[in-house]
Structures are given as C-alpha cells and as structure tokens.
Amino acid sequence: MLIGSQGSIQTKAVIFTEEAISIPSGVPTEGLATRFFRTGSPLQGALFVLLLWAALYLPNTALRPLYQEEGRRALLAIDVYENGNWFTPAVAGERYRNKPPLLPWMIAAAAAFTGGVNELAVRLPSLLFTLLGALLVFVFVRPHVRFSAALFSSAVFLLSPLVIEKARMGETDMIVTVMCMAALTLWWRGLSAGRLHWHTWVAAGCCLTVAAMAKGPPPLSFFAVTVGATAWAKKRYRDFPGILFSLFLPLAAVSLWAATGYDTGDLSLYAREMRLVADPGSPGAYALRRLSAGVEILLALMPWLAVGFAVFVPKWRQRLEARKDLAEILTVYSLLIPAILLFWVGSRPRYVMPAVPTVAVASGLVWDALGRRRNRRMSQWLLAIVCTAAAGVFAYHAIAVPLLQERYNRERHIAVAIGEALKEVPGPVVAVHLSHNLVYYSGLAARSVTLKQVRGIPPPYTMAAHCGIYARLPAYCDCRWEIFKTIEAGENERYCLARITAADDGESPGSE
C-alpha cells in the first residue's frame, strides 16, 4: 500500500514467488537435530561420542566379576600396587614375563582412585582407551566426510564385535588397537598437510611405545607395513629415517624392559609369546586351522567390513569419489595385514583387532557417499543397523548383566568358600590349576602353579585344586596328602583342600 503526494491512497499488488522470498541467514530453516548432524563443530562431535560411549559401556561396569584373563591382570596389578614390583610383577607368587607390564601399571594407577585393585580399576584402562579410539576415528575421517558421516564412523567403531567384547575387559587389546590408530592418525594428518616433520615421527613413536609396552612388538606391524609401503609406492624415500626412528622408540623401550630382570629361558618365552616359534603340523591340519581362523576373522570384522568393502575395490572406490591415497592406506591396514596374519602359523583371530578403527573409517566413507548420492534407503538401513546394535549393547549392559548376576557370581562364590576354609590354616597355600579369578577372589596369598611345578615345592603346605588332580599327584610329588575339606561347585565339579606332607622313607606317595 502506497500513500501519494496528494494524500490519496493508491494500491499496488505484489505477487510473492518462491524466488522472490529472501530469508535472512540468521533465521533457522531446519530442525535443531538436522542442523547438528549437518554442521556440528568438533566439540559437539566429541560430546556426541562421549555420550554414546557412556550409554553403551558405563552401565554396571563393575557389577560383573572378573572373568577370562582379568584375574591374572588383577593379581599382577596387586603386586605392583602393594609390593612395588614395577618391572617384574608376579602372578600369585609366580614370576610373569610374558608381556611388558604397562597394563598392570595402569590398573595400579586406577586403583589409587577406585579404592584398590577391584573390577572397576581392572577395566578402567580399556574403557578409557575405547573412548579415545572413537574420538580418533572421528578426527581421522572428519576432513573427508560430512559431520554426520564422521559420527557414523565413531558409532561403527564402538559397535564393532571386537570392541563390544574387549571394551569392558581388563586386557591389552584396546590399548594396542587405539595407540596404533593414534600413530596412523598423526602420520596421515602430517602427510595430508604435506609436512611430515620430526615431531610427527616422535609423537607417532611415543604412541607405538605405549602399544608395545602393553603387548610387545608384533602389533607395530600394522603401522610399519602401512607407512613403509606408502613411502615406497610414492617414492618418499626421505620418510624412511622418520619411520625407522618411530619404530626404534618402542623397540628400545621393550628391549630395556626385557633386559631388566632377564633370566635364563626368557628369550624362548618371548619367542613363544610373539608366536615366532610354532609347529604348523601337517599341511592338512595347517590348512584347516587357517580356514577356521579366516572365518573367525571375517566374523570379527563384520558387518562393517562388508559396509566399507567398496572403499577397498578400485572400481567401486571411483564411484564413491573417495580419495585414492586414503583408500589405499585403509586397504593395506584393514585387509593386507590381516591377510598376512591369517597365514602366520601362531596368529589368532583377535590379532586383527587394530584393523577395526580403519574398517570404521571405510564404513563412514561409504555412508557419506550414499548420503551425497541421495541413496536414502541404503543409508537409512545402515543407520537402522547402528541404532539396533546400540540398543542391544545398552540392553545387555544395563538390563541383562544384573539379571545374570547369579550365574556370573558362581566362580566368586567358590573362591569365597575356599578362602573361608583356608583362612585359619597355617603355612603356605598352593593353588594348582585354579583360575586366576578364583585365586583373586579367595583373598589368599596363594601361590598359583601348574601340576608340573609342584615337584619343586617342598612340603609341608596346603593345596587347593580340583579333586581329580590328586589322582595324578604321585607322578609329580613324592608326598602324602590328607583331604580335609571338599567344596561342591556343581555337577561333577568339586574342589578339594588337602594338607601335603613329605612321604617317609619307604612310604609310597598317596593319600593318608
């Protein structure tokens, strides 16, 4: 409506078309959630990853008793925490040199905040490294994909079968996986920026040192082969001094630890632990074991290996418009090295766990390409798989673990019964072929040995073992025993506590 110079009123029709409307930039045109997943900041991404990690893995973390090898790690940490045996900690009185002691150090450090070496202290290092791994995946892939795809990659990492298995377990696998990925991330960001300075190699070497001090040198092969092959293929020969230096740091650290407290036989022990000596058996048996290992490796990396597989195939990679050099690096790290490990005689399926983060990165690249190509149905299906897996993991940790407590507590109840029966018994206690979890929960300063090691223990002492062990004892011990307590642990499972004494001259070994 316009007012003329003579005060008369004139009207003018204006037709509003879609092109004529100009919305100010400050006015939101989409939902809050949509804007967050489209244009979120690094801080928002870190917050999302933190919340997802907390929802998946923090519920009832310490509720389940120690299981599998956690008891061994707990006993090592107790020797560090209470006795100060930093470089050669013992497992229930037995010297342990199978692996470098970084994990027991971390558990002992956590024990200072958790009130002792308990379930939370044992699992806290793996939990924190799981969070760090999800953040590293986000940082690695974010420059190459949309914000939502980077979050998708982090979620895929957190929901990978091997991560679900190891994230809440006091083991070395998460430390190794994440620290190898940290070294790869530092190197890749430097290579992408065109500046691989000395501090990049130092930082990568420090990350690899943490990995090596947790499990030994073998996992370094993921970084060494990937970076070395890239430098050779791109004729970046000037990178080799940096590569060698980054590998020298962890090898030097492990060598110094190995030299500390070295004893006769340690060298053969290290060779066995690194799977450098193994009997392949007959060709047929070797092929069957490798076939079984290959199936286990595929299952361990599924379903995300199938999602990201297009990145590893050159023809499909072009359709995704993925960077060639990035795709080649992911292929070496995710496929080539696991394939080499498959044919390594002493390898086990869990040794491919360092490939999990790069498989998650490849999955994010595929999901991003699907979104850019408007293939909404496929991207929505993948998102539904992620959400379903997340709901399943949350339900297990938040609901199923408390419901299964009676089943999980069975071993702890047996250990408590053994501890109560031996509390007032004088003299040393020897646990023969008992799990380290049992020894831990018994609360006794028992020496944990195998049946063969019994031969070197002079009587008298008290033995705790499965009742069936005593029938085999005369072959290993020139002694007499008297069973004074039998603990029923279930159908066909009994534990016997016996007093072991030396056999008199002319007296045959056996029960009194």
**pTM here?**
0.87
Residue 39 or 215, more confident: 215
Q: What is residue 364's predicted lDDT score, i.e. its pLDDT?
A: 93
Cα(51)–Cα(438) distance, rounded to whole angstroms? 35
Using 50, 70 and 90 to split pLDDT, how confident is the model at 287?
confident
> Is residue 90 domain-resident?
yes
**Position 510 pLDDT exceeds 70:** no
> Is residue 31 domain-resident?
no
Q: What is residue 12's predicted lDDT score, i.e. its pLDDT?
A: 43
Residues 378 and 499 in one domain: no
> Is residue 279 domain-resident?
no
**Position 462 pLDDT exceeds 50:** yes
Residues 77 and 102 in one domain: yes
Q: What is residue 37's predicted lDDT score, i.e. its pLDDT?
A: 56
Cα(361)–Cα(185) distance, rounded to whole angstroms? 11
Residues 390 and 492 in one domain: no
- Chosen domain end from 381, 403, 425: 403
**Position 324 pLDDT exceeds 80:** yes
> Is residue 364 domain-resident?
yes
> What DSSP element (H or E) covers 15?
none
Residues 327 and 454 in one domain: no
Once rounded to an integer, what is the mean pLDDT over residues 117-136? 96
**Position 19 pLDDT exceeds 50:** no
Using 50, 70 and 90 to split pLDDT, how confident is the model at 128?
very high
Pairing of strands 94-95, 429-432: unpaired
Report the DSSP beta bridge partners of residue 466: 495
The pair of three-digit structure tokens given for residue 368, joined into one six-digit string: 């991003």
Establish whether the linkage from the previous residue to 426 is cis, with ω within 30° of 0: no
- How many independent structural domains does the chain possess? 2
Highest-scoring range by mean pLDDT, 49-53, 230-234, 315-319, 453-457: 49-53
| pLDDT cut 90: percent of the chain above it | 46
Q: Are 100 and 214 in contact (CB under 8 A)?
A: yes
> Is residue 21 domain-resident?
no
Pairing of strands 493-502, 479-490: antiparallel
Q: What is residue 104's predicted lDDT score, i.e. its pLDDT?
A: 94
**Position 164 pLDDT exceeds 90:** yes
Using 50, 70 and 90 to split pLDDT, how confident is the model at 507?
low
| pLDDT cut 70: percent of the chain above it | 89
Once rounded to an integer, what is the mean pLDDT over residues 366-374? 82
Once rounded to an integer, what is the mean pLDDT over residues 313-317? 82
Q: What is residue 443's predicted lDDT score, i.e. its pLDDT?
A: 86
Pairing of strands 461-466, 493-502: antiparallel
> Is residue 146 domain-resident?
yes
**Position 26 pLDDT exceeds 60:** no
Using 50, 70 and 90 to split pLDDT, how confident is the model at 273?
confident
Cα(117)–Cα(66) distance, rounded to whole angstroms? 11
Instruction: Look at phi and psi of residue 492 and say left if phi exceeds 0, alpha if psi is from -120 to 50, else beta.
Output: left
Q: What is residue 173's predicted lDDT score, i.e. its pLDDT?
A: 94
**Position 171 pLDDT exceeds 80:** yes
> Is residue 39 domain-resident?
no
Among the ranges given (100-109, 196-205, 268-277), the one the predictor scored with the smallest mean pLDDT: 268-277
Residue 500 or 18, more confident: 500
Residue 426: burial class (beta carbons within 10 Å; 0-12, 13-18, 19+): exposed
**Position 199 pLDDT exceeds 80:** yes
The pLDDT mean for the chain works out to 85
> Is residue 9 domain-resident?
no
Residues 490 and 355 in one domain: no
Once rounded to an integer, what is the mean pLDDT over residues 313-342? 85
Once rounded to an integer, what is the mean pLDDT over residues 165-169? 94
- Chosen domain end from 380, 403, 426: 403
Using 50, 70 and 90 to split pLDDT, how confident is the model at 193?
confident
Half-sphere exposure of 62 toward its Cβ, with a 13 Å CA cutoff?
Answer: 11
Using 50, 70 and 90 to split pLDDT, how confident is the model at 213?
very high
Residues 378 and 256 in one domain: yes
Pairing of strands 2-3, 9-10: antiparallel
Residue 340 or 19, more confident: 340
Once rounded to an integer, what is the mean pLDDT over residues 419-447? 87
Using 50, 70 and 90 to split pLDDT, how confident is the model at 354?
very high
**Position 291 pLDDT exceeds 90:** no
**Position 186 pLDDT exceeds 80:** yes
139 backbone dihedrals φ, ψ, rounded to 5°:
-65, -40
**Position 389 pLDDT exceeds 90:** yes
Residue 38 or 197, more confident: 197
Residues 443 and 474 in one domain: yes
Q: What is residue 29's predicted lDDT score, i.e. its pLDDT?
A: 47
Once rounded to an integer, what is the mean pLDDT over residues 434-460? 88
Residues 165 and 202 in one domain: yes
Using 50, 70 and 90 to split pLDDT, how confident is the model at 152?
very high
Of 370, 384, 297, nearest to 334 by C-alpha is 297
Cα(166)–Cα(126) distance, rounded to whole angstroms? 7
Residues 426 and 391 in one domain: no
Once rounded to an integer, what is the mean pLDDT over residues 179-197? 92
Q: What is residue 278's predicted lDDT score, i.e. its pLDDT?
A: 67
Residues 131 and 221 in one domain: yes
Q: Which amino acid is at 430?
A: V
253 Cβ contact list (under 8 Å, min separation 6): 100, 209, 212, 213
Half-sphere exposure of 405 toward its Cβ, with a 13 Å CA cutoff?
Answer: 8
Using 50, 70 and 90 to split pLDDT, how confident is the model at 48?
very high
Q: Helix or strand or coil: residue 463? A: strand
Using 50, 70 and 90 to split pLDDT, how confident is the model at 16?
very low
- Chosen domain end from 403, 429, 448: 403
Pairing of strands 447-449, 429-432: parallel
Look up the domain containing 129 and give its range: 60-261+292-403
Residues 207 and 132 in one domain: yes
Residues 64 and 166 in one domain: yes
Half-sphere exposure of 445 toward its Cβ, with a 13 Å CA cutoff?
Answer: 8
